[in-house]
Chains A and B, each alone.
Chain A
Amino acid sequence: MKSEVIDREDVRTIKLSGKITIGAGDVTMRELIHAAIDDGKKKILIDLGDVKAVDSSGIGELVAAYTTVAKNGGRLALVHLSPKINDILQVTQLVTVFDIFDDEASALASFS
Chain B
Amino acid sequence: MPDTKPVNAAISITSRFENIELAERVVHDLMVSAGIGEEEIAPVIRALWEGIANAIRHGNGGDPDRRVEIEATVSPALVRVTITDQGAGFDVAAVPDPTAAENLLKPSGRGIFIMRQLMDRVEFSNLSGGGTVLLLERRLGTTQEREHHEV
Q: Does A91 contact B (CB under 8 A)?
A: yes
Q: How large is the interface on B (under 10, 10 to 19, 20 to 34, 35 or more residues)?
A: 20 to 34
Q: How many A-B residue pairs have CB under 8 A?
A: 65
Task: Tell me the dominant secondary structure on chain A's binding face.
Answer: helix
Contacts of B4 in A (CB 8 A): none
Would you give 12 A-B contacts (Cβ < 8 Å), ordered by A? A23-B53, A56-B108, A56-B113, A60-B110, A63-B105, A63-B106, A87-B149, A87-B150, A88-B114, A88-B151, A92-B98, A93-B99
User: Given the interface contacts A21-B49, A23-B18, A55-B49, does A92 sit within 8 Å of B99 by beta carbon?
Assistant: yes
A22 touches B117 (CB 8 A): no
B50 touches A56 (CB 8 A): yes
Q: Does A94 contact B (CB under 8 A)?
A: yes
A21 and B99 CA atoms in complex are apart in Å by: 20
Q: Does A90 contact B (CB under 8 A)?
A: yes
Contacts of B17 in A (CB 8 A): 22-24
Contact of B151 among A21, A64, A91 (CB under 8 A): A91
- Nearest 7 interchain pairs by C-beta: A23-B17, A56-B111, A56-B110, A64-B107, A88-B151, A60-B107, A93-B99
Contacts of B53 in A (CB 8 A): 22-23, 55-57
B150 touches A92 (CB 8 A): no
Q: Does A97 contact B (CB under 8 A)?
A: yes
Shortest CB-to-CB span from B114 to chain A, Å, is 5
A112 and B17 CA atoms in complex are apart in Å by: 41
Q: Which of B1-37 contact A (CB under 8 A)?
A: 16-18, 20
B114 touches A56 (CB 8 A): yes
A87 and B42 CA atoms in complex are apart in Å by: 14
A60 touches B108 (CB 8 A): yes
